[in-house]
Homo-oligomer: A and B are copies of this chain.
Amino acid sequence: MCNTRRMYRNFSFLIALALAFLASADAATHPGMSQVLEHSRPADWRPVDPENTLYMDLPGGRVVIEMAPLFAPVHVRNIKTLAKAGYFDGLAIVRVQDNYVAQWGDPQNRRPLPDAIGKSTAPEFDSPLPHHMPFTRLPDGDVYAPEVGFSEGFPVARAVAQNRTWLAHCYGMVGVGRDVAADSGNGAELYAVIGHAPRHLDRNVALVGRVLQGMQLLSSLPRGSGDLGFYTPAEQPLPIKSIRVAADVPPAERTNLEVLRTDTSTFAALIESRRNRPEDFFKVQAGRIELCNVPLPVRQIAAHSP
Protein backbone atom coordinates (compact mmCIF):
# COMPACT_ATOMS: atom_id res chain seq x y z
CA MET A 1 0.00 0.00 0.00
CA CYS A 2 0.89 3.43 -1.07
CA ASN A 3 2.64 5.45 1.59
CA THR A 4 5.11 3.00 3.08
CA ARG A 5 7.99 4.55 1.17
CA ARG A 6 7.13 8.00 2.45
CA MET A 7 6.74 6.69 5.99
CA TYR A 8 10.13 5.11 5.60
CA ARG A 9 11.82 8.38 4.67
CA ASN A 10 10.29 10.13 7.62
CA PHE A 11 11.24 7.64 10.25
CA SER A 12 14.05 8.06 12.67
CA PHE A 13 15.67 4.75 13.33
CA LEU A 14 15.62 2.88 16.56
CA ILE A 15 17.45 -0.39 16.47
CA ALA A 16 15.60 -2.69 18.80
CA LEU A 17 16.59 -6.10 17.56
CA ALA A 18 18.44 -8.32 19.96
CA LEU A 19 21.13 -9.87 17.80
CA ALA A 20 22.05 -13.47 18.36
CA PHE A 21 25.68 -12.68 18.99
CA LEU A 22 26.91 -9.27 20.06
CA ALA A 23 30.49 -10.30 20.72
CA SER A 24 33.09 -7.99 19.29
CA ALA A 25 34.80 -9.06 16.11
CA ASP A 26 38.46 -9.56 15.47
CA ALA A 27 39.47 -6.53 13.43
CA ALA A 28 42.14 -8.58 11.66
CA THR A 29 39.52 -10.66 9.87
CA HIS A 30 36.26 -9.90 8.10
CA PRO A 31 33.49 -8.17 10.03
CA GLY A 32 31.01 -9.92 12.29
CA MET A 33 27.27 -9.58 11.91
CA SER A 34 27.02 -6.66 14.33
CA GLN A 35 29.56 -4.68 12.30
CA VAL A 36 27.83 -5.56 9.04
CA LEU A 37 24.58 -4.19 10.41
CA GLU A 38 26.23 -1.11 11.92
CA HIS A 39 27.56 -0.24 8.48
CA SER A 40 24.33 -0.92 6.64
CA ARG A 41 22.80 1.93 4.69
CA PRO A 42 19.16 3.02 4.93
CA ALA A 43 18.55 1.59 1.45
CA ASP A 44 19.56 -1.88 2.70
CA TRP A 45 16.34 -2.00 4.68
CA ARG A 46 12.76 -2.01 3.55
CA PRO A 47 9.67 -1.14 5.55
CA VAL A 48 7.20 -3.95 5.92
CA ASP A 49 4.04 -3.24 3.96
CA PRO A 50 1.10 -2.88 6.40
CA GLU A 51 -1.16 -4.53 3.84
CA ASN A 52 1.01 -7.66 4.05
CA THR A 53 1.40 -7.61 7.82
CA LEU A 54 -0.68 -9.40 10.44
CA TYR A 55 -0.80 -8.46 14.10
CA MET A 56 -1.77 -11.33 16.34
CA ASP A 57 -2.44 -9.68 19.70
CA LEU A 58 -2.13 -12.12 22.59
CA PRO A 59 -2.48 -11.48 26.34
CA GLY A 60 1.31 -11.28 26.57
CA GLY A 61 1.91 -9.01 23.59
CA ARG A 62 1.95 -8.82 19.81
CA VAL A 63 3.16 -11.31 17.24
CA VAL A 64 3.96 -9.55 13.94
CA ILE A 65 3.80 -11.69 10.82
CA GLU A 66 4.90 -10.63 7.35
CA MET A 67 2.86 -12.42 4.72
CA ALA A 68 4.19 -13.62 1.39
CA PRO A 69 1.50 -13.01 -1.24
CA LEU A 70 4.00 -13.67 -4.04
CA PHE A 71 4.18 -17.32 -2.92
CA ALA A 72 0.62 -18.01 -1.74
CA PRO A 73 -1.66 -15.29 -3.12
CA VAL A 74 -4.98 -17.06 -2.59
CA HIS A 75 -4.21 -18.18 0.96
CA VAL A 76 -2.94 -14.72 1.88
CA ARG A 77 -6.10 -13.17 0.45
CA ASN A 78 -8.19 -15.62 2.50
CA ILE A 79 -6.29 -14.83 5.68
CA LYS A 80 -6.74 -11.10 5.15
CA THR A 81 -10.46 -11.63 4.55
CA LEU A 82 -10.68 -13.65 7.76
CA ALA A 83 -8.72 -11.07 9.76
CA LYS A 84 -10.85 -8.19 8.43
CA ALA A 85 -14.00 -10.11 9.39
CA GLY A 86 -12.70 -10.54 12.95
CA TYR A 87 -12.77 -14.29 12.41
CA PHE A 88 -9.79 -15.10 14.66
CA ASP A 89 -10.74 -12.77 17.52
CA GLY A 90 -11.54 -14.80 20.61
CA LEU A 91 -10.24 -18.04 19.12
CA ALA A 92 -7.16 -19.59 20.73
CA ILE A 93 -3.80 -21.20 20.31
CA VAL A 94 -4.91 -24.80 20.37
CA ARG A 95 -1.74 -26.81 19.82
CA VAL A 96 1.87 -26.43 20.94
CA GLN A 97 4.03 -29.41 20.06
CA ASP A 98 7.59 -29.28 21.34
CA ASN A 99 10.26 -28.81 18.68
CA TYR A 100 7.57 -28.51 16.04
CA VAL A 101 4.70 -26.01 15.80
CA ALA A 102 2.34 -23.68 17.65
CA GLN A 103 -1.04 -23.69 15.94
CA TRP A 104 -4.12 -21.51 16.25
CA GLY A 105 -7.60 -21.17 14.86
CA ASP A 106 -10.76 -23.22 15.02
CA PRO A 107 -9.84 -26.87 14.48
CA GLN A 108 -13.42 -28.08 14.91
CA ASN A 109 -14.67 -25.55 12.35
CA ARG A 110 -17.30 -24.39 14.80
CA ARG A 111 -17.14 -20.76 13.73
CA PRO A 112 -18.80 -20.01 10.39
CA LEU A 113 -16.46 -18.78 7.67
CA PRO A 114 -17.11 -15.55 5.79
CA ASP A 115 -18.88 -16.16 2.44
CA ALA A 116 -15.75 -15.21 0.51
CA ILE A 117 -13.84 -18.21 1.94
CA GLY A 118 -14.56 -21.52 0.28
CA LYS A 119 -14.31 -24.84 2.05
CA SER A 120 -11.42 -25.80 -0.19
CA THR A 121 -8.56 -23.78 -1.60
CA ALA A 122 -6.27 -24.90 -4.40
CA PRO A 123 -2.88 -25.87 -2.95
CA GLU A 124 -0.15 -23.26 -3.14
CA PHE A 125 2.67 -25.51 -2.03
CA ASP A 126 5.09 -24.33 -4.69
CA SER A 127 5.04 -22.07 -7.72
CA PRO A 128 6.74 -21.59 -11.09
CA LEU A 129 10.04 -19.75 -10.92
CA PRO A 130 9.14 -16.11 -11.27
CA HIS A 131 10.96 -13.99 -13.83
CA HIS A 132 11.61 -10.96 -11.72
CA MET A 133 12.13 -12.30 -8.26
CA PRO A 134 15.59 -11.69 -6.78
CA PHE A 135 17.28 -14.82 -5.44
CA THR A 136 20.35 -14.75 -3.20
CA ARG A 137 21.70 -18.26 -3.47
CA LEU A 138 23.50 -19.89 -0.57
CA PRO A 139 26.77 -21.50 -1.62
CA ASP A 140 26.80 -24.48 0.73
CA GLY A 141 24.00 -26.68 -0.56
CA ASP A 142 21.05 -28.17 1.23
CA VAL A 143 19.95 -31.64 2.29
CA TYR A 144 16.43 -31.26 0.94
CA ALA A 145 16.49 -29.14 -2.23
CA PRO A 146 18.72 -28.61 -5.26
CA GLU A 147 19.16 -24.92 -4.42
CA VAL A 148 18.31 -22.71 -1.46
CA GLY A 149 18.59 -19.03 -0.69
CA PHE A 150 16.48 -15.95 -0.10
CA SER A 151 13.85 -14.12 -2.12
CA GLU A 152 12.03 -11.02 -0.89
CA GLY A 153 13.18 -11.63 2.67
CA PHE A 154 12.04 -15.25 2.87
CA PRO A 155 14.00 -18.52 2.94
CA VAL A 156 13.26 -20.35 -0.29
CA ALA A 157 14.19 -23.51 -2.14
CA ARG A 158 14.34 -23.98 -5.90
CA ALA A 159 14.33 -26.79 -8.42
CA VAL A 160 15.31 -25.03 -11.62
CA ALA A 161 14.97 -28.19 -13.72
CA GLN A 162 11.34 -28.40 -12.66
CA ASN A 163 10.86 -24.63 -12.85
CA ARG A 164 9.58 -24.60 -9.26
CA THR A 165 10.27 -22.60 -6.12
CA TRP A 166 8.80 -22.82 -2.64
CA LEU A 167 9.12 -21.29 0.79
CA ALA A 168 11.13 -23.35 3.29
CA HIS A 169 9.96 -24.43 6.75
CA CYS A 170 12.52 -22.54 8.84
CA TYR A 171 12.01 -21.46 12.45
CA GLY A 172 9.35 -18.75 12.61
CA MET A 173 7.73 -19.54 9.27
CA VAL A 174 3.93 -19.50 9.25
CA GLY A 175 1.88 -22.09 7.39
CA VAL A 176 -1.71 -23.10 6.75
CA GLY A 177 -2.96 -26.12 8.64
CA ARG A 178 -4.95 -28.58 6.57
CA ASP A 179 -6.54 -32.03 6.74
CA VAL A 180 -5.45 -34.96 4.61
CA ALA A 181 -6.84 -33.52 1.35
CA ALA A 182 -4.34 -31.17 -0.29
CA ASP A 183 -7.01 -28.50 -0.87
CA SER A 184 -8.44 -28.62 2.64
CA GLY A 185 -6.47 -25.70 4.10
CA ASN A 186 -8.10 -22.34 3.59
CA GLY A 187 -6.25 -20.13 6.08
CA ALA A 188 -8.58 -20.46 9.06
CA GLU A 189 -6.00 -22.62 10.84
CA LEU A 190 -2.41 -21.36 11.00
CA TYR A 191 0.81 -22.51 12.63
CA ALA A 192 4.30 -21.20 13.26
CA VAL A 193 7.42 -23.36 13.36
CA ILE A 194 8.87 -23.31 16.90
CA GLY A 195 11.63 -25.93 16.54
CA HIS A 196 14.19 -27.42 14.24
CA ALA A 197 13.13 -26.80 10.64
CA PRO A 198 10.62 -29.54 9.64
CA ARG A 199 11.67 -29.38 6.01
CA HIS A 200 9.73 -32.54 5.13
CA LEU A 201 6.66 -30.28 5.27
CA ASP A 202 8.03 -28.23 2.36
CA ARG A 203 5.78 -28.56 -0.70
CA ASN A 204 3.16 -30.25 1.46
CA VAL A 205 1.70 -27.15 3.07
CA ALA A 206 1.09 -23.59 1.96
CA LEU A 207 3.54 -21.36 3.78
CA VAL A 208 2.20 -17.83 3.94
CA GLY A 209 4.73 -15.75 5.84
CA ARG A 210 7.07 -15.50 8.77
CA VAL A 211 7.06 -14.06 12.27
CA LEU A 212 9.10 -10.84 12.40
CA GLN A 213 8.60 -10.07 16.07
CA GLY A 214 7.10 -11.80 19.09
CA MET A 215 8.24 -15.36 18.34
CA GLN A 216 8.91 -15.93 22.03
CA LEU A 217 5.19 -15.40 22.73
CA LEU A 218 4.56 -18.60 20.77
CA SER A 219 7.72 -20.60 21.41
CA SER A 220 7.58 -20.29 25.20
CA LEU A 221 3.97 -21.46 25.55
CA PRO A 222 3.32 -24.59 27.60
CA ARG A 223 3.33 -27.66 25.37
CA GLY A 224 -0.03 -29.39 24.94
CA SER A 225 -0.31 -32.82 26.51
CA GLY A 226 -2.68 -34.27 23.90
CA ASP A 227 -1.73 -36.13 20.73
CA LEU A 228 0.41 -33.95 18.45
CA GLY A 229 0.64 -31.33 21.21
CA PHE A 230 -3.02 -30.32 21.11
CA TYR A 231 -4.22 -28.89 24.38
CA THR A 232 -6.58 -31.19 26.24
CA PRO A 233 -9.88 -29.91 27.65
CA ALA A 234 -8.21 -29.66 31.07
CA GLU A 235 -5.57 -27.30 29.73
CA GLN A 236 -6.10 -23.59 29.18
CA PRO A 237 -5.50 -22.68 25.55
CA LEU A 238 -4.14 -19.18 25.18
CA PRO A 239 -6.86 -16.86 23.84
CA ILE A 240 -6.21 -14.66 20.81
CA LYS A 241 -7.36 -11.10 21.49
CA SER A 242 -7.37 -10.28 17.80
CA ILE A 243 -5.67 -10.83 14.48
CA ARG A 244 -5.73 -7.77 12.28
CA VAL A 245 -4.14 -6.58 9.07
CA ALA A 246 -1.72 -3.81 10.10
CA ALA A 247 -3.16 -1.45 7.50
CA ASP A 248 -6.49 -1.60 9.35
CA VAL A 249 -4.90 -0.60 12.65
CA PRO A 250 -4.63 3.09 13.52
CA PRO A 251 -1.07 4.29 12.78
CA ALA A 252 -0.45 5.13 16.43
CA GLU A 253 -1.09 1.48 17.39
CA ARG A 254 1.13 -0.06 14.73
CA THR A 255 4.43 -1.81 15.26
CA ASN A 256 6.62 -0.28 12.59
CA LEU A 257 9.31 -2.66 11.42
CA GLU A 258 11.95 -2.77 8.76
CA VAL A 259 13.64 -5.90 7.46
CA LEU A 260 17.07 -6.16 5.90
CA ARG A 261 16.70 -6.58 2.14
CA THR A 262 18.00 -9.95 1.05
CA ASP A 263 19.13 -8.75 -2.40
CA THR A 264 21.84 -6.41 -1.11
CA SER A 265 25.60 -6.58 -0.68
CA THR A 266 24.99 -5.99 3.03
CA PHE A 267 22.99 -9.20 3.26
CA ALA A 268 25.68 -11.04 1.30
CA ALA A 269 28.25 -9.76 3.82
CA LEU A 270 25.98 -10.88 6.67
CA ILE A 271 25.85 -14.39 5.25
CA GLU A 272 29.63 -14.43 5.03
CA SER A 273 29.92 -13.16 8.61
CA ARG A 274 27.94 -16.24 9.69
CA ARG A 275 29.70 -18.78 7.48
CA ASN A 276 33.00 -17.76 9.07
CA ARG A 277 32.50 -16.24 12.47
CA PRO A 278 35.21 -13.74 13.31
CA GLU A 279 34.30 -13.60 17.01
CA ASP A 280 37.13 -14.81 19.25
CA PHE A 281 34.85 -17.43 20.74
CA PHE A 282 35.02 -19.57 17.59
CA LYS A 283 38.07 -21.84 17.34
CA VAL A 284 36.91 -23.78 14.29
CA GLN A 285 35.10 -22.04 11.46
CA ALA A 286 32.15 -23.89 9.98
CA GLY A 287 32.99 -22.28 6.65
CA ARG A 288 29.44 -23.12 5.65
CA ILE A 289 25.92 -22.22 6.59
CA GLU A 290 22.59 -23.95 6.40
CA LEU A 291 19.52 -22.09 5.12
CA CYS A 292 17.62 -21.87 8.40
CA ASN A 293 20.65 -20.65 10.34
CA VAL A 294 20.91 -17.41 8.38
CA PRO A 295 19.52 -14.54 10.48
CA LEU A 296 16.97 -12.28 8.80
CA PRO A 297 17.40 -9.02 10.72
CA VAL A 298 14.39 -6.95 11.71
CA ARG A 299 14.47 -3.55 13.36
CA GLN A 300 11.81 -1.46 14.93
CA ILE A 301 11.42 2.08 13.72
CA ALA A 302 9.67 4.90 15.51
CA ALA A 303 7.28 7.09 13.56
CA HIS A 304 8.60 10.66 13.27
CA SER A 305 6.25 13.31 14.60
CA PRO A 306 6.19 15.91 11.82
Q: How far is the CB of A264 from chain B (nearest CB, A)?
A: 23
State whether A22 and B228 are in contact (beta carbons under 8 Å apart), knowing that A195-B196, A219-B98, A274-B200 are contacts in the complex. Answer: yes
A290 CB contacts on chain B under 8 angstroms: 143-144, 197, 199
**How many Å lie between the Cα of A125 and that of B97 in the bound state?**
31
Q: Which residue of B lies closest to A275 (CB)?
A: B200
B215 contacts A125, CB within 8 Å? no
Q: Which residue of B lies closest to A285 (CB)?
A: B200
- For the complex with contacts A143-B143, A171-B195, 19 further pairs of A-B residues with Cβ separation under 8 Å are A123-B283, A141-B141, A142-B143, A143-B290, A180-B280, A180-B281, A195-B219, A196-B196, A196-B197, A196-B292, A197-B293, A198-B293, A199-B286, A200-B277, A200-B282, A200-B289, A200-B293, A216-B223, A220-B220
A289 CB contacts on chain B under 8 angstroms: 143, 200
In the complex, per-residue mask of A130-148: 1 if CB is within 8 Å of any chain B CB, else 0 = 0000000000111110000
Q: Is the interface of A mostly helix, strand, loop or mixed?
A: loop
**How many Å lie between the Cα of A274 and that of B143 in the bound state?**
14
A144 contacts B288, CB within 8 Å? yes
A100 CB contacts on chain B under 8 angstroms: 20
A203 sits at the interface (CB 8 A): yes
Q: Which residue of B lies closest to A178 (CB)?
A: B281
A180 CB contacts on chain B under 8 angstroms: 280-281
A221 sits at the interface (CB 8 A): yes
Which single member of B141, B204, B219, B227 contacts A284 (CB below 8 Å)?
B204
Which single member of B18, B196, B222 contacts A171 (CB below 8 Å)?
B196
A124 sits at the interface (CB 8 A): no
**How many Å lie between the Cα of A180 and that of B216 in the bound state?**
28
